[in-house]
Amino acid sequence: MPDTSDQIKSLLALAAVVSPRVQIVGIRLAHSNTSSAPPPPETPLRIEHGLNGEAEANRDSNQIAVRVSFMVRANAADGSEAAEAAFHVEAAFHLGYTINSFDGISDEHVQAFGKMNGVYNAWPYWREYVQSTTVRMGFPPLTLPVLTGEAILKIYQEQEAAAKRDDDSLPEESAEPAPAAR
């Protein structure tokens, strides 16, 4: 597997072909979901992040549509049940871009643009949404960190590792049919 710096360079290089040719024309909140439990007294929380950016090119109208999904969750740092899922916030943003030319731009370039630039462009909206939402839930305001290309890739890598762990923990399918319920 290529190291992190090679992956960042690859995604950034692909996205860099697209980014000087686009103008953002709109961003909107497309979906959100939140939940919270009463804030646990004096319990340290562990914050987990998730994100994804997907892009689609409309070559006929010279447009790129990007859907960026974010998630942040707070769990008890010690893993105790009392503060498990203290809060969970997720949102999806749709971003629209116009592009002056698709010459020399493949679907791989467009996808890298969505994964990197789309996420980066939506991040300030997500930060504000999380901060105001956590306050409304009764928690101290959660200020998300500044976003970098390395941070985006790290979150993608953590998500892939978690998905692999989840896949590895599933029982293998048996060739034998399951017994019928009686």
pLDDT at 1 over 50: no
Asked which of 40-44, 97-101, 175-179 is least confident by mean pLDDT, the reply is 175-179
Longest pairwise C-alpha distance within the chain? 65
d(CA 55, CA 86): 32
d(CA 1, CA 9): 14
pLDDT at 171 over 70: no
Cβ neighbours for 23, distance < 8 A, ≥ 6 positions apart: 97, 98
Asked if 52 and 68 touch (Cβ cutoff 8 Å), the reply is yes
Assign 83 a pLDDT band (cuts: 50, 70, 90).
Answer: very low
Instruction: Name the nearest CA neighbour of 50 among 15, 12, 88.
Output: 88
Asked if 87 and 118 touch (Cβ cutoff 8 Å), the reply is no
User: What global pTM score does this model have?
Assistant: 0.82
For the segment 42-63, the average pLDDT, to the nearest whole number, is 91
For the segment 52-79, the average pLDDT, to the nearest whole number, is 92
**Which tokens hold the place of 123?**
């991040």
Asked if 81 and 68 touch (Cβ cutoff 8 Å), the reply is no
Domain 4-156 has CATH 3.10.420.10: yes
Q: Taking the domains of the chain in order of start, what are their residue ranges?
A: 4-156
